[in-house]
Amino acid sequence: MPLKENLLSIKNTFINTNCLLIAVSKTHPASSIREIYDLGHRDFGENKVQELTDKAAQLPQDIRWHMIGHLQRNKVKYIAPFVFLIHGVDSLKLLQEIDKQAEKNNRIISCLLQVHIAEEESKFGFSEEELMDLIHSEELKALNNIKIIGLMGMATYTENVAKVRKEFAGLKSLFEKLKALDLSGNVDMKVLSMGMSGDYLIAQEEGSTMVRIGSAIFGERNYN
């Protein structure tokens, strides 16, 4: 199916029409992004810094680029001038580097803290306890050029719907818990990024405000 139909049919299934769709374009060419862009879509996600900066250079300036992958500290500087939202922040050290690079670029960079909700070891993120420590730390308060606007999580890759639902529900309840706290000025919990091609409907049922969808729009990825 052409990309346009894919995008529209996904949007038609949304349970929450206010949920923001991030079109995950990793491994797909700039020309495919352009097709989706021409339909009025502006939010795109990539998981590698090099690929993100290459594509950003070839495409219109008003695209909102979401860095959704694991981000290495030494690469923050390449995306700091323009990135719209960093989804996978998983350490204080990374946050400090983002803050430093944001200051150099005279901006405030929005970030999501990644929470480890899946069973798989391979997925990154904070435990609930680590997250609570970070949220209340003096080190976090000292950062003036970042804004934490929410949480991100990836469920276990499984056919077991009940399990996926439970993981998303756990993240949602942590999100609500944080929202209810009186946190420092650079934390404002409003975004819950959860859900991908295979599980975005479950994620929306459990309260997702942002879904990251790749293969259901662009087709299967070809890694070489």
Ligand X SMILES: *Cc1c(COP(=O)(O)O)cnc(C)c1O
- CB closer to ligand X out of 143 and 152: 152
Smallest separation (angstroms) from ligand X to the CB of 131:
18
- CB closer to ligand X out of 170 and 198: 198
- CB closer to ligand X out of 91 and 215: 215
Smallest separation (angstroms) from ligand X to the CB of 174:
18
Smallest separation (angstroms) from ligand X to the CB of 46:
9
Q: Is 188 in contact with 148 (CB distance < 8 Å)?
A: yes
The residue with its CB nearest to ligand X is 214
Smallest separation (angstroms) from ligand X to the CB of 155:
11
Smallest separation (angstroms) from ligand X to the CB of 55:
15
- CB closer to ligand X out of 45 and 145: 45
Sequence-distant (≥ 6) Cβ neighbours of residue 91 within 8 angstroms: none
Report how far residue 59's alpha carbon sits from residue 80's, in angstroms, rounded to the nearest whole number.
Answer: 17
Binding site residues, ligand X, CB under 6 A: 24, 26, 47, 68-69, 154, 196-198, 212-216
Closest CA to 148 of 175, 124, 122: 175
- CB closer to ligand X out of 81 and 198: 198
Closest CA to 80 of 46, 54, 108: 108
Whole-number Cα distances in Å, 84 to 21, 27, 105, 108: 14, 20, 13, 10
Report how far residue 70's alpha carbon sits from residue 182's, in angstroms, rounded to the nearest whole number.
Answer: 29
